[in-house]
Amino acid sequence: MLAGYAVQVEDSRGRRFPEASHPYRNDYQRDRDRIIHARAFRRLVDKTQVFTRRYSDHFRNRLTHTIEVSQITRTVAGALALNVDLAEALALVHDLGHPPFGHAGEKALDAAMRQQELSFDHNLHALRIVEDFEQRYAAFRGLNLTFEVREGIIKHSRDYDAATHPELAEYLLEQRPPLEAQLIDLTDEIGYNTADLDDGYEAHLLTLDQIRAGVPVFERFLGEVERIYPEAPEKLQFNETLKRILNRMADDLISNTQARVKHAGVKTLADVRSRKERIAAFSAEVEGERKQIKDFLHENLYYSPSLAGEKDDAERIVTDLFAFWMSNSSSLPRQYQEKAMEESLPRVVCDYIAGMTDHFIIEQYEKYC
């Protein structure tokens, strides 16, 4: 039984190109499966999350991060009596538009586009992927996902202004997204905040003492773990502590969102959409803890001197290749040369680079630069 404010699949606004119903999968389950089978989804396995394989093959990449976020999202959505199929599809697609080299690659690609008086936004790029770039069906371009999944791609992490983005007018920009979409940015934070502490510790870029001093919630739970498992190896105590932090954030997201739904008198999906602010949220206390973890990671890991060289390399590779293809468009693959006859060359070059894996873009750099 779904809550009254959940998205009901039978009320979906449907697909851009109508299709017959499937005999044993609902529309959001079909969307989930189309995302999983997409080429862009497979490419996530060779896209950096935080660490390249120089450190270890055991660290998260975009694909494993996406799977972890999907698991957390299913759990939270189920506890809130939301549409788990829709929430899962949105979790699986949420990072589809990221370029190679993580945030360093995205920063460089956006900077290159801004020199052309354009920009790069990974949410908007993800929409281009599912609407145009994926070609698996004879009847239409793209994946022909339902409206609710396409809307969630755009609106899960931010609100777009209709005046600035008239091309997105169909996505109800004046309304809030459903709770299934509102969850994604928050479950994403739960996933990467705990995972990046784990990978940073495993990479020996973060020490246990450093984390204890900089993340009070970690110190509190580690003390509890040490009392319960005093003889356990340090790494297992570390794992137990992270598990407690993840559980605390997920539990809080569930309970606080339930409380906010009740306080706002939300009964229907229309109530969710008409609110001035988003309803899904952490409590003030856990939001403060989330911010402490994120600030700690930015200060001590993401901008660590040990990673600076790789970030510089990533930005140089993206910047130089963008400039090369802007001056040598005949070196682009044929399909991108053809697209450049219909769209601006900067956008086509941006699309080409954004779709690359880390491995492939390095090959292209060695070939052309």
Task: For residue range 261-309, list pLDDT tens digits in order.
Answer: 999 999 999 999 999 999 999 999 999 999 999 999 999 998 888 888 8
Q: What is the pLDDT of residues 46-75, one digit of tens each?
A: 998 876 656 556 788 999 999 999 999 999
Q: Tell me the three-class secondary structure of 197-208, residue by residue.
A: HHHHHHCCCCCH
**Predicted structure pTM score:** 0.95
How confident is the model over 328-337, as pLDDT tens digits?
999 999 999 9
Alpha carbons 130 and 144: distance in angstroms, whole number = 7
Residue 342 lies in a domain: no
Does 340 reside within a domain? no
In the prediction, which pLDDT does 51 show?
67
Closest CA to 75 of 66, 84, 67: 84
Q: Residue 351 falls within a domain, yes or no? A: no
**Residue 367 falls within a domain, yes or no?**
no
Q: Is residue 350 part of a domain?
A: no
Q: What is the pLDDT of residues 217-267, one digit of tens each?
A: 999 999 999 999 999 999 999 999 999 999 999 999 999 999 999 999 999
pLDDT 10s digits, 160-170: 999 999 999 99
The band of 126, judged by pLDDT with boundaries at 50, 70 and 90, is very high
The residue range of the domain holding 15 is 9-307
- 159: domain CATH number? 1.10.3210.10
Q: What is the 3-state secondary structure (H, E, C) of 8-52?
A: CHHHCCCECCCCCCCCCCCHHHHHHHHHHCCHHHHHHHHCECCCC
Residue 344 in domain? no
Residue 1: inside a domain:
no
Does the residue 157 lie in any domain?
A: yes
Across the strands, what pairs with 207?
A: none
- In this predicted structure, the answer to whether residue 185 has a pLDDT above a threshold of 80 is yes
pLDDT of residue 49: 80
Domains in the chain, number: 1
pLDDT bin (cut points 50, 70, 90) of residue 80 is very high
- Residue 54: the pLDDT is 61
